[in-house]
Amino acid sequence: MLRFFKYIYLVVFLVSLVSCEKDDINIFCIKRKLVKNTWKINSCIDYYNNSDYRLSNSTYKFKENGEFLIFPENTNEVKQTTWELIDNNKYLRLGNNIFKIKIITNKIIGLRYGSVEIFYTSVE
């Protein structure tokens, strides 16, 4: 009897997965990757000035409800803004700034703002 329920659960899961549009799956995967980890800026490259910048050791957290939390180093004050995926998941809005998504994996986020690319890595 338990096997029967497992098969029913599997069939319902597969039917619901197949009924989703490709964009629905894509947005779910991207959101899951963003909220899964806490992030830290690894590097910031300005292609216009041909230079890279070292930024603070702040950590960042994307929340399911659209909150974006910033935990600055050496302080207990948490800063908060919002985040949202826009234009078919090609762009990420953080507060009032819109970044082009270059790459999002479980370990790396690459965003572009004008001539600047920012790379985040997951904090383990």
Q: What is the CATH number of the domain that holds 73?
A: 2.40.128.540
**31: domain range?**
2-122
For residues 39 and 61, the answer to whether their CB atoms sit within 8 Å is yes
Mean pLDDT value across residues 56-78: 91
Contact 38, 59 (CB under 8 A): yes
pLDDT category of residue 22 using cuts at 50, 70 and 90 = very low
How large a percentage of the chain has pLDDT more than 70? 77
User: What is the pLDDT averaged over residues 14-38?
Assistant: 65
Instruction: Note the pLDDT of residue 119.
Output: 92
Query: At which residue do the structure tokens 């599997």 appear?
Result: 10
Count of domains forming the chain = 1
pTM to 2 decimal places: 0.74
Question: How many other CB atoms are there within 10 angstroms of residue 63's CB atom?
Answer: 13
Query: Given its phi and psi angles, is residue 7 left (phi above 0), alpha (psi -120 to 50 degrees) or beta?
Result: alpha
